[in-house]
Amino acid sequence: MNSIHLRQTLPQVFADRDAITSDVWHQDITFSKGKRYLIEAASGTGKSSLGSYVYGYRRDYQGIINFDERNIRSLSVDEWVEVRKHSLSILFQELRLFPELTALENIQLKNRLTNYKKKKDVLALFAVLGIANKADQKAGKLSFGQQQRVAFIRSLCQPFDFIFLDEPVSHLDDDNGDIMSRILTEEAERQGAGVIVTSIGKHLRLEYDSVYKL
């Protein structure tokens, strides 16, 4: 996948508003592979909805979203499986970890589908992110910031052309945020991938090609 193209896309819940002031909603905008984008937003402006639309599990929007000029509404279930395994990764704001599983088990669920990273490489990421001693603890017992790092590792356990991260450092200090930025930069450059980050304030410190106001 080389591009994600939004054509007059707008959440249906916003359709009755008299005016929409946004660099993204109701615009013609293309996210290109290999580029880095920051989407700054106020709470309630639809940034998490955008991720849900692009990832294909919500369809309550107007307009068109294309992958390489193909309308994503036309993708079959099998095609979505392939997209989510090989082309598009996402770090949800709400993380979506299984609290009854350990941190490592949460990641292994994903990695067993993709066989992308070796266990030693996953554990190395735990160590670099300062949570090596949390791998065997249940995710539900971890702090939100620790869970964010676990979910981040999980998002890297697949090949991707684009990775979408929704407020990935909201509960991290600057040092851990910088470590995450470095890891993400290295992984994205290795894969030649596009990076889309959303933020309502604190954000990953990357060299962004474009910054949009949602």
Give residue-wise pLDDT tens across range 69-113. Answer: 999 999 999 999 999 999 999 999 999 999 999 999 999 999 999
d(C-alpha 200, C-alpha 213), whole Å: 10
Furthest CA-CA distance within the chain: 54
Query: Residue 108: how many CA atoms within 13 Å on its side-chain side?
Result: 11
* pTM, entire model: 0.94
Structural domain total, the chain: 1
Q: Residue 124 belongs to what domain range?
A: 3-213
Alpha carbons 78 and 93: distance in angstroms, whole number = 26
Could you tell me the CATH number of the domain that includes residue 68?
A: 3.40.50.300
Predicted local confidence at residue 17, as pLDDT: 82
The pLDDT score that the predictor gives to residue 40 is: 94
Query: For residue 142, what are the CA distances in angstroms to 122, 152, 153, 157, 162?
Result: 18, 14, 15, 20, 28
How confident is the chain (214 residues) per 10-residue block, as mean pLDDT?
97 86 95 97 88 95 96 97 96 95 96 94 97 97 96 97 95 94 96 96 90 95
Positive or negative, the CA dihedral 198, 48, 189, 32 is negative
pLDDT attached to residue 76 = 97
The pLDDT assigned to 165 comes to 96
- What are the distances in angstroms from CA 154 to CA 23, 67, 116, 213? 30, 23, 11, 28
